[in-house]
A and B are shown apart, each in its own frame.
Chain A
Amino acid sequence: MRRFLLRRLGQVIGTIFGVVTLIFFLQRLTGDPTYLLVPETATQADIDAMRAALGFDRPLIVQYLAFLKQIASFDLGRSVIQNVPVWDIIASRLPYTLQLAGGALLVACGLGIPVGIILALYRDHPASRLLASVVLAAQSMPTFWSGIILILIFAVTLGWLPPSSTGGIEHLIMPSIALGLLSMATFARITRTSLLDELSKEYVRTARSRGVPMGLLLRRHLARNASIPVITVAALEISNLLAGAVIVETVFAWPGLGQVTVQSILARDFLVVQGIVLLGAFVTVALNLAADLLYSAVDPRIRLDGSRR
């Protein structure tokens, strides 16, 4: 176990270093924010002075070393566009991203897993085929469209929910649904497949022939055995939900990290992008680690140090 954790820690540091280096150079391929900052009437001298003031006139390698030094001292730097520390920007947005990801996950799992179970248990029933196509339709709707349709129905026409922005739980409902519907289908599919897999195993047939009711079998054995792939997918989907909410955040004016990432990329606000990417890499790696640890909790046959029991 300790050897496993040490090895994984080494991988984590390597991955994060690679990601940060890549994003540092990738961003700088297309220039810097100077032209976006100065007014149209600025002369070349004004532009050069601005660039020097921001430090973008220094050689790339000097900028890179300065950045590494900063990171090593746990300082993410300051946004040149918003004029505040990068950490303050991330810290102000993170709670919203977590709320939205949580809400979406609730919708995705809360709908997806039961739907997957139904699809598996009644796989030949016509109603189940209908359900499958509904799930597919929900996944196929682009969020910029489904989001605005939700707003028009539930906020503008019916007036039940606030159309956008933040506040109470009522503000979270529509964005969570719009975002959650996308992952819902993934959860439904993976639950169905994995459950079908288990259903075809011999112990199930034996248990059924001995008269064990399906409900009990599902709770006691199937749920646990079929959950490994679902956990894998959940880890991937959570990192997706944390990173991929740009469109939903934009449509619902939800102040999450996705929106600020895209705005910062467009504004060439390098340090903000680097900070968010660093965080994203860290979260993804951490979630994968958590999933690995969960496997062994759910299924003791899986040992983490690679040795056989």
Chain B
Amino acid sequence: MVRRGRGLAAVVLGLCLAAAPGALLAKEKLTVDLVNEPSSLDPHVQWNPDSYYVYRNIFDNLITRDDKGNIVPQVATSWKYLSDTEIEFTLRDDVTFHDGQKLTAEDVAFSVQRITDPKFASPQLGQFNKIIKAEVTSPTTVKLTTDGPYPALLGQLVKLSIVPKHLVDAVGKDAFNLKPVGSGPYKFDGWQRGVQVTLTANDKYWGTKGPFASVAFRAVPDAATRVANLQAGTSDLAVTLDSDLAAQLKNSPKAKVLSVLTERVAYLRLNPAKPPFDNAKIRQAVAHAIDKEAMVEGVLGGYDKPVPQMLTPAHVGWVNDIEAPSYDSKKAQALVKEAGEGGKAEIELATSPVFDQRIVQAIQQMLSEAGLNVKINMSDMASYLKRAQGGIDATPSLSFGRWSCSCQDADGVLFPLLHKSSSWSVYRNPKADELLEQARQSLDDKVRLAAYRGVHEIVAQDVPLVPLYQSAAIYGAAKELEWQPSPSESLFLNRMTWKD
């Protein structure tokens, strides 16, 4: 009897000892459900959310954004403009790559040269092609030269990852993509194609270390399955949910909903070269016919937020007191009636399955109520983009889209959408072009804001676009995961914590 009691005590003690380290270590392995697997992990090649979520944890950037969206140091500790076109970055001296080699100014200059080299043919070139030169000026300083003043440079550079020159030169592009080595808080561990990419914590990281010893990023294309995985407790974080799926998580004992307003703006683009939108009155009617509040509250579950201008408060270029045409269905109807026969022309509303079709249908209905004749035309994303950038004739009368330049600067939104030189633009307004050029060429925020105010006012009056709402990103997460998602839709593991 005594003996058995002692044995039991030993077992209990043993169990406690066995369980204790687990409890202290909190979360060993985090499982993240993405939509698809990354296309590539070489940060200078493919650029899409699923690649971005993963590789941004493997690599450091010159600079980054904090959770509030401010641009803050990362590998660079400080920077100063030497002239309107030259900027010098001072670098940290204590950063090492995962292979133990030190990160130097050479690596930084190499990374910029690599992604901007036309022969390398990076799909991301369009974000960095204003940079014409990257030079090492001392062991800890790098100078970048742009082809003119470029105010969005820092906003773009938060996405430029630093790769190790010695390794990329040695193994080449393809091998580096299969086994990337960076200097970030997580190291590449393995890639099981179609299934998952695994990372392990970098114990020697110079900055905030990641809280999980290992992380698996899995490809789970069906959103309902991502939610089921959270409910069953087989995943800890899931990206890209909609409000209906989020509602399912509300009562889950294991999971919760995290959401953030992103820098993505939903908009309607009108083609003023095509009837009936050659008539400014009809364009204004569209602006008055759309009830953004009802759209956001009624259809999108209240996560998103209506905007009066083609930006979000997360952008440089947002102007506080811009007034958009108000929702007024009577006025919209009157404007359409005034246009007479011209108002009855059939309007093609182009969209793609990647966008929320509930919204597209709501738009069709609101415009029909105003007396317009709208037909939805859905095509896959490649065809949609081809037409959207195919010039004035190819561009549909009306298209729904969501815009993000991932740079949080008005130059990445308004210039491509409105300036006559852009493949996206079907709007021809010399005044708007002039303001956009002015804002692009000045490093003075006051000058830029004044110019963008002018652009916002033109958009509100002349309606080449109807800005709709600032899109929300909705995530599902295990109850224990503490994380503040960011407007840039990044997923930095070392900014998460786990509370048992």
Q: Which residues of A come within 8 Å of B, CB atoms? A: 30-33, 35-44, 46-47, 49-50, 53-54, 81-84, 88-89, 92-93, 96, 144, 148, 151-152, 155-156, 159, 162-166, 250-253, 255-256, 259-260, 263, 266-268
B26 within 8 A of A: no
Please indicate which of the listed interface residues A41, A53, A54, A251 has the most CB atoms of chain B within 10 Å of its own CB. Answer: A41
Q: A251–B407 Cα gap in the complex (Å)?
A: 34
Cβ–Cβ < 8 Å partners of A40 in chain B: 403-405, 412, 416, 424
Q: Which of B249-273 contact A (CB under 8 A)?
A: none
Q: A36–B126 Cα gap in the complex (Å)?
A: 13
Cβ–Cβ < 8 Å partners of B406 in chain A: 39
Contact: A46 with B225, CB < 8 Å? no
B7 within 8 A of A: no
- Nearest first, the 10 A-B pairs at minimum CB distance are A255-B194, A42-B126, A53-B121, A92-B193, A35-B385, A37-B123, A253-B220, A46-B126, A31-B386, A163-B228
Per-position 1/0 for B420-442, Cβ under 8 A of A: 01111000000000000000000
In the complex, which residue of chain B has the Cβ closest to the Cβ of A93? B194
Cβ–Cβ < 8 Å partners of A96 in chain B: 194
Q: A159–B229 Cα gap in the complex (Å)?
A: 11
Q: A46–B412 Cα gap in the complex (Å)?
A: 15
A-B contacts at CB below 8 angstroms, number: 147
List 30 contacting pairs A-B, 8 Å CB cutoff, sorted by A: A30-B386, A31-B382, A31-B386, A36-B385, A39-B47, A39-B126, A41-B126, A41-B127, A41-B416, A43-B421, A43-B423, A49-B121, A49-B125, A54-B121, A81-B46, A82-B39, A83-B39, A83-B45, A83-B174, A84-B178, A88-B193, A92-B194, A144-B222, A148-B222, A148-B225, A155-B228, A155-B232, A156-B232, A251-B225, A253-B33
Cβ–Cβ < 8 Å partners of A268 in chain B: 382
Cβ–Cβ < 8 Å partners of A53 in chain B: 121
B104 within 8 A of A: no
> What is the distance, in angstroms, from A91's C-beta to the closest C-beta of chain B?
9
When the two chains form the complex, which single residue of B40, B46, B382, B423 contacts A30, counting CB atoms closer than 8 Å? B382
Cβ–Cβ < 8 Å partners of B178 in chain A: 84
Cβ–Cβ < 8 Å partners of A35 in chain B: 382, 385-386, 389
Contact: A163 with B229, CB < 8 Å? yes
Q: A94–B224 Cα gap in the complex (Å)?
A: 25
Known: A35-B382, A44-B423. 15 other contacts (CB 8 A): A31-B386, A36-B385, A37-B123, A40-B405, A41-B126, A43-B421, A46-B129, A49-B125, A81-B46, A83-B39, A83-B46, A88-B193, A250-B222, A259-B221, A268-B382
Contact: B383 with A31, CB < 8 Å? yes
Q: A226–B174 Cα gap in the complex (Å)?
A: 54
Contact: A266 with B218, CB < 8 Å? no
Q: A84–B38 Cα gap in the complex (Å)?
A: 12
In the complex, which residue of chain A has the Cβ closest to the Cβ of B401? A40
Q: A88–B191 Cα gap in the complex (Å)?
A: 13
Cβ–Cβ < 8 Å partners of B225 in chain A: 148, 151, 163-164, 251-253
> What is the distance, in angstroms, from A196's C-beta to the closest C-beta of chain B?
41
In the complex, which residue of chain B has the Cβ closest to the Cβ of A254? B194
B494 within 8 A of A: no
> What is the distance, in angstroms, from A213's C-beta to the closest C-beta of chain B?
49
Contact: A148 with B224, CB < 8 Å? yes
Contact: B228 with A266, CB < 8 Å? no
> What is the distance, in angstroms, from B193's C-beta to the closest C-beta of chain A?
4
Q: Which residues of B come within 8 Å of A, CB atoms? A: 33, 36, 39-40, 42, 45-47, 118, 121, 123-127, 129, 174, 177-178, 193-196, 218-222, 224-225, 228-229, 231-232, 234, 380-383, 385-386, 389, 403-407, 412, 415-416, 421-424
Q: Known contacts being A43-B423, A82-B39, is A255 close to B219, with CB within 8 Å?
A: yes
Q: A164–B33 Cα gap in the complex (Å)?
A: 11
When the two chains form the complex, which single residue of A41, A54, A152 contacts B407, counting CB atoms closer than 8 Å? A41
Q: Known contacts being A50-B121, A148-B225, A163-B228, is A43 close to B218, with CB within 8 Å?
A: no
Contact: B403 with A36, CB < 8 Å? no
> What is the distance, in angstroms, from B36's C-beta to the closest C-beta of chain A?
6
Cβ–Cβ < 8 Å partners of A162 in chain B: 232, 234
Contact: A37 with B422, CB < 8 Å? no
> What is the distance, in angstroms, from A266's C-beta to the closest C-beta of chain B?
6
Contact: A251 with B222, CB < 8 Å? yes
Q: A305–B229 Cα gap in the complex (Å)?
A: 55
When the two chains form the complex, which single residue of B194, B196, B380 contacts A266, counting CB atoms closer than 8 Å? B380
Cβ–Cβ < 8 Å partners of A148 in chain B: 222, 224-225, 228
Cβ–Cβ < 8 Å partners of B46 in chain A: 37, 81-83
Cβ–Cβ < 8 Å partners of A252 in chain B: 225
Cβ–Cβ < 8 Å partners of A166 in chain B: 195
Q: A96–B196 Cα gap in the complex (Å)?
A: 14
Contact: A42 with B125, CB < 8 Å? yes
Please indicate which of the listed interface residues B123, B383, B416, B421 has the most CB atoms of chain A within 10 Å of its own CB. Answer: B123
Q: Known contacts being A30-B383, A38-B123, is A165 close to B232, with CB within 8 Å?
A: no
In the complex, which residue of chain A has the Cβ closest to the Cβ of B413? A40
Q: A89–B195 Cα gap in the complex (Å)?
A: 12
Cβ–Cβ < 8 Å partners of B231 in chain A: 156
Q: A279–B395 Cα gap in the complex (Å)?
A: 38
> What is the distance, in angstroms, from B381's C-beta to the closest C-beta of chain A?
6
When the two chains form the complex, which single residue of A50, A164, A250 contacts B123, counting CB atoms closer than 8 Å? A50
Q: Known contacts being A82-B39, A83-B45, is A253 close to B222, with CB within 8 Å?
A: yes
Q: A94–B32 Cα gap in the complex (Å)?
A: 25
Contact: B381 with A266, CB < 8 Å? yes
Cβ–Cβ < 8 Å partners of A156 in chain B: 228, 231-232
Contact: A36 with B382, CB < 8 Å? yes
Contact: B127 with A39, CB < 8 Å? yes
Q: A156–B177 Cα gap in the complex (Å)?
A: 37
Contact: B123 with A89, CB < 8 Å? no
> What is the distance, in angstroms, from B112's C-beta to the closest C-beta of chain A?
17
Cβ–Cβ < 8 Å partners of B118 in chain A: 49
When the two chains form the complex, which single residue of A31, A38, A41, A47 contacts B412, counting CB atoms closer than 8 Å? A41
Q: A32–B383 Cα gap in the complex (Å)?
A: 9
Cβ–Cβ < 8 Å partners of B224 in chain A: 148, 251
Cβ–Cβ < 8 Å partners of B380 in chain A: 30, 266
Contact: A33 with B382, CB < 8 Å? yes
Contact: A164 with B174, CB < 8 Å? no
> What is the distance, in angstroms, from A252's C-beta to the closest C-beta of chain B?
7
Cβ–Cβ < 8 Å partners of A263 in chain B: 36
Cβ–Cβ < 8 Å partners of B229 in chain A: 163-164
Q: A37–B224 Cα gap in the complex (Å)?
A: 27
When the two chains form the complex, which single residue of A39, A50, A164 contacts B228, counting CB atoms closer than 8 Å? A164
> What is the distance, in angstroms, from A8's C-beta to the closest C-beta of chain B?
34
In the complex, which residue of chain B has the Cβ closest to the Cβ of A269? B39
Contact: B39 with A165, CB < 8 Å? no
Cβ–Cβ < 8 Å partners of B412 in chain A: 40-41
> What is the distance, in angstroms, from A83's C-beta to the closest C-beta of chain B?
5
Q: A172–B381 Cα gap in the complex (Å)?
A: 32
